[in-house]
Amino acid sequence: MAKVNLDVQLLEVSQNAIALIYAACRQCYSEKFAGDFFMDEGADLKKQEEFVKKIVASGHQSPLEHVKFSFAIQGVSRALTHQLVRHRLASYSQQSQRYVKEKDFDYIIPPSIEGNPEAKKEFESLMAAIQQSYTKLSQYLGQDNLSGETANQDARFALPQAAETKIVVTMNCRELLHFFAHRCCARAQWEIRALADRMLSICLEKLPAVFAEAGAKCEALGYCPEGEKFCCGKYPPK
């Protein structure tokens, strides 16, 4: 058992992303066939990038759905992934506690607990106690001649939300912009905000024409939509 840290790796991004968004958008307004001008060898990539920037700024975001990013994520808690999967326009493949036995599970410690010696001691003691109980439950269920899969699926009821998990996430650019708008906000829970910030840095590096202005809602609005009570002060409340 050990405390673990966030790790995000890009598995794949759609090839020829700018050309793909450009062709999809042009198809909306052109009598020509997108298949004829997609990947045109004579195309000016710089002009296409500028075109895509204007599309993003205009709010015409449906062409962005044709480009996707896939991430491998580890060092996050089950508490985080419960929030993450609420973004429904995405694909998820998460490590199963039913098929993967948590014989020595790692965990995430919230900063507020990490910074308080007494709280940290209590938290780590609790994690150790849960691990011990989980192991005993698995053994008891095994004595009842339940298969490993069945024993795991019932013993996992004792596992905490702090337990570390691994997940593969795929989102298209439009959903990523929505995800960043909500989860890069100071109001977002600290762990998912850290994940969103890491994902945004990767997206910005790979596709700046789309993500140059991405981030918390206030960045695009120029004001805080959360109201005075929840405003962090970066922008004035509406």
Active site residues: 183
Q: Comparing C-alpha atoms, which of 139, 164, 133, 161 is closest to residue 151?
A: 139
Report how far residue 67's alpha carbon sits from residue 57's, in angstroms, rounded to the nearest whole number. Answer: 17
**CA atoms of 68 and 13, how far apart (whole Å):** 6
DSSP 8-class letter at 66: G
Closest C-alpha among 64, 70, 77, 80 to residue 20: 64
Q: Which residue has the tokens 């996050």?
A: 76
Which tokens in the block code for residue 119? 């709280």
Q: Which residue has the tokens 């762990």?
A: 191
Token pair listed for 211: 């993500």
Nearest to 108 by CA among 55, 163, 167, 183: 163
Element (H, E) at 12: strand 7-13
Which among 224, 226, 216 is positioned nearest to 182, based on CA atoms? 216
Residues in the chain, how many?
A: 238
